[in-house]
Amino acid sequence: MKKILITRKLIKSSEENALRLFDVKLNQEDKLLSKDQLIKESNNCDGILSSLTEKFDSEVISKLSTTVKIISNFAVGFGNIDIDAAKKRNIAVTNTPDVLTDATAEIAILILLGAARRAKEGIKWANKKNWKWSADFLMGKQLTEARLGILGMGRIGRAIADRARSFGMKIHYHNRSRLDKNLEKNAVYHQSLKSLLSVSDFFSINCPANKDTRHIINKETIKHFPDGAVISNSARGDMIDDDAMVEALKSGKIYSLGLDVYNGEPDIHPEYLTLPNVFVLPHLGSATKKTRTAMADLAVKNIDEFFRTGTCKNRVN
């Protein structure tokens, strides 16, 4: 039986599933493992089922037990793993695409709406109990008929587009390449980011985190948005330069921001917590029982497939 380290606690049925297939080292207390602990715990393991809370940089990868042949990440994003360093060491890295698309698209819409309709201020007022309805009380921005720019039209970007269409939004997007017509569904393709930003009354970040997309929304690119744009990020915190964003939120260039992901999670830029026009959630994109179970089961299946066949459909390196 292959020996597998599971770095974080999973939903019980998924752990049982793993226990049927492998000799499993569980993290019963669900403690965050430091880099040194990760290295130590990998001793004699054939594979690791990791989560986005562990950083497998080149140093960690170089020190993992030489027995490790696969890192199966319990997420669709894999920015926490240096996939090239893993490849050099002949370690396969896999992810969990598809199964979290719908849940993540739902959260993306929630944060877009939360930002546009001033949910943070609304919740605060409701809790104070002394609010008073008036014709101009907490007026926000309406999604209907507005243009939504989507950066990254992969599975999640397209699922957001489908939901946004039902709100009457007009979809624009920028992607590494243009989509086929049947996937595009009349969305307007923009060859450059600048062109997309210039029409984005609303904007949703859904591209992968890598060295090309780090801080792609920064002091310079923010200038291209229409004044008063609403932005949401349900992908990874890396894509936003937080200081530039805070400045734009304070000046009103950006009307409001909805966030589910952060640079250096679980830390959150302190001004995002105090500014009234930033609606924040603690990385809940895939957090439904149905989705987290499907993700964990797929992460287990990826390891099983890899050891049975020597490869895996969800390998990313």
The answer to whether 97 contacts ligand DGY (rule: CB under 6 A) is no
Quick check: 56 and 35 in contact, CB under 8 A?
no
In three-state secondary structure terms, 3 is strand
Say which amino acid occupies 66.
T
In three-state secondary structure terms, 50 is strand
Whole-number Å distance between alpha carbons of 313 and 95: 10
Active site residue 236: yes
In three-state secondary structure terms, 29 is coil
Whole-number Å distance between alpha carbons of 276 and 118: 8
The answer to whether 76 contacts ligand DGY (rule: CB under 6 A) is yes
Pairing of strands 147-151, 3-6: unpaired
Least distance in angstroms from the C-beta of 4 to ligand DGY:
19
The answer to whether 296 contacts ligand DGY (rule: CB under 6 A) is no
Pairing of strands 3-6, 47-50: parallel
Catalytic-labelled residue, pool 158, 174, 190, 283? 283
The answer to whether 75 contacts ligand DGY (rule: CB under 6 A) is yes
Q: Sheet containing 92-94: which strands, arranged edge to edge?
A: 23-25, 3-6, 47-50, 70-73, 92-94
The answer to whether 286 contacts ligand DGY (rule: CB under 6 A) is yes
The answer to whether 110 contacts ligand DGY (rule: CB under 6 A) is no
Q: Segment near ligand DGY (CB under 6 A), from 7-15, 75-83, 119-127, 196-204?
A: 75-83
Closer CB to ligand DGY, 64 or 100, in the complex: 100
Of 77, 154, 237, 258, the residue at the interface with ligand DGY (CB under 6 A) is 77
Active site residue 265: yes
The answer to whether 152 contacts ligand DGY (rule: CB under 6 A) is no
Q: Segment near ligand DGY (CB under 6 A), from 1-9, 74-82, 166-174, 181-189?
A: 74-82
Active site residue 283: yes
How many C-beta atoms surround the C-beta of residue 144 within 10 A?
Answer: 7
The answer to whether 100 contacts ligand DGY (rule: CB under 6 A) is yes
In three-state secondary structure terms, 241 is coil
Upstream peptide bond of 208 is cis (omega within 30 degrees of 0):
no
Q: Segment near ligand DGY (CB under 6 A), from 185-193, 239-247, 250-258, 280-288?
A: 280-288
> Would you state the torsion angle of the CA atoms of residues 85, 283, 266, 280, taken in this order, to the nearest 10 degrees?
140
In three-state secondary structure terms, 256 is strand
* Binding residue count for ligand DGY, defined by CB under 6 A: 8
Whole-number Å distance between alpha carbons of 214 and 102: 25
The answer to whether 111 contacts ligand DGY (rule: CB under 6 A) is no
Q: Segment near ligand DGY (CB under 6 A), from 54-62, 144-152, 246-254, 283-291?
A: 283-291
Of 119, 285, 294, 301, the residue at the interface with ligand DGY (CB under 6 A) is 285
Least distance in angstroms from the C-beta of 299 to ligand DGY:
10
Closer CB to ligand DGY, 7 or 277, in the complex: 7
Catalytic residue numbers? 236, 265, 283
